[in-house]
A = this chain, B = another copy of it.
């Protein structure tokens, strides 16, 4: 058996699965990020509990895969920087391995989710080429080929949140102007709702805070300013999808992350942008067919499944 661990900002989730990818036990803990030691203890406790409930002796777990929201050096088993977890140059793989007694392998949470999405789509198949596009507080993407994640020369492949899409656009936290994240991230949508004075209007749609959900509802109800902002965001997302499709040429593109949680309310306007392209371009019709795109279902825990797959793959990659 193998174990997958998803270390999030609020909770740690664990799954124990067989080599045939059958789920045999799960467990979770709140994340205590006051110190690295607390995180390691939380992971080890959750792993032990998941073994207990699945009647698995911990030392029969062959390997543990761990997904972390931040910059990760998989070869060294180090978390370079995970702001939400208070980890900075921390050898998390070694520490968890010592605490739980089983070898561990680390990966960035978006690449892990990409692996999870790949499993969701293709199950036990060992082939297929999938792009996962994460639109959350930040933006990044991952490519999985035949069940292995692409990392790149510096572990940065798919880190597209700070590509410049509007040369004279808004100043981004990274120092550049008009990064993709200044237009199309969850945080950017919130900021644009506030900056445009849309918040007052969204209160009429039940909003108490400037959340994307209410923006999409207002746009669907025909509110013109909401439609304009949704259009702007959706167009940037469609353009980013087109870049990923033409750079990576995947069979499927799966979208996930906080911004996608409103489901078709979020995705229909993105599909609409691509539908317009398909009407006028046979290349777009070939490369961006509607059936190439899917949303990650909220009920599917891509984080733990992906982490379990990583454990099975031994962190190997196919670039």
Contacts and interface: CB of A to CB of B under 8 A. Distances in A.
How many copies of the chain does the oligomer comprise? 2
Interface string A128-162: 01000000000001000110000111111111101
A249 interface: yes
Nearest to A128: B153
Contact of A164 (B160, B242, B286, B318): B242
Given A174-B281, A176-B281, A176-B284, A249 B164 contact: no
B129 A153 contact: yes
Contact of A280 (B156, B163, B167, B175): B175
Contacts of A111: none
A160 B281 contact: no
Given A156-B287, A167-B235, A239-B163, A280 B247 contact: no
Contact of A281 (B145, B162, B243, B251): B162
A249 B156 contact: yes
A244 interface: yes
A176 to B, nearest CB: 5
Given A174-B283, A284-B175, A319 B145 contact: yes
Interface in A269-286: 277, 280-284, 286
A204 to B, nearest CB: 30
A36 interface: no
A246 interface: yes
Given A247-B244, A248-B157, A152 B129 contact: yes
Contacts of A248: 152, 157, 247
Interface string A233-244: 001000100111
A155 B249 contact: yes
A128 to B, nearest CB: 8
Given A145-B319, A176-B281, A154 B249 contact: yes
28 contacts: A129-B319, A141-B247, A145-B319, A151-B249, A152-B250, A153-B251, A154-B286, A155-B249, A156-B287, A157-B249, A159-B246, A159-B249, A160-B246, A160-B247, A162-B283, A163-B239, A163-B246, A164-B239, A164-B242, A174-B284, A175-B281, A175-B283, A175-B284, A176-B277, A176-B284, A243-B247, A247-B247, A318-B318
Given A156-B249, A165-B239, A174-B282, 8 more contacts: A129-B319, A152-B250, A156-B287, A157-B248, A160-B243, A175-B282, A176-B280, A243-B243
